[in-house]
Amino acid sequence: MTEPSNYGGYYWCIKVPESISEDGEIYLYADRVELRDGALIFSGKFYPSARDGHPDYENPLDMEEKTPLILNKDQWLVCYAASVLDGSAVAVTHWKGEVV
């Protein structure tokens, strides 16, 4: 069985309405996110696990990108690159009310 981290080298947080996710958040791995016509489109290659059990980001299994998630324009509020340790925004130093 594969791990979510096999689907991309970056970890993302998407704040969503509670009708989409009960806690208002979705976390996923993807290589990139694109904003197209208000929709967030996450894509990435599939990376097999190396001998140490972690994804081998140097050698994707297939060079074709996959699309693991699309959120239409009314299905998301905020998107950011997140820390795998606590989900906080990696490039933000202060964000009152967010994960500390």
- pLDDT by residue (tens digit) across 62-74? 778 889 999 999 9
Is the pLDDT reported for residue 28 higher than 70? yes
| Range in 33-47, 49-63, 78-92 the model is least confident about | 49-63
Hey, where are the domains in the chain?
Answer: 4-81
Q: 32, 43 in Cβ contact below 8 A?
A: yes
Q: 33, 27 in Cβ contact below 8 A?
A: no
pLDDT digits (tens, 9 = 90+) for 29-44: 999 999 999 999 999 9
**Which pTM value belongs to this model?**
0.84
Retrieve residue 49's tokens: 């696990």
- The confidence score (pLDDT) of residue 99 equals 55
Taking residues 10-35, report their average pLDDT: 96
Cα separation, 40 vs 92, in Å, equals 21
Is the pLDDT reported for residue 1 higher than 70? no
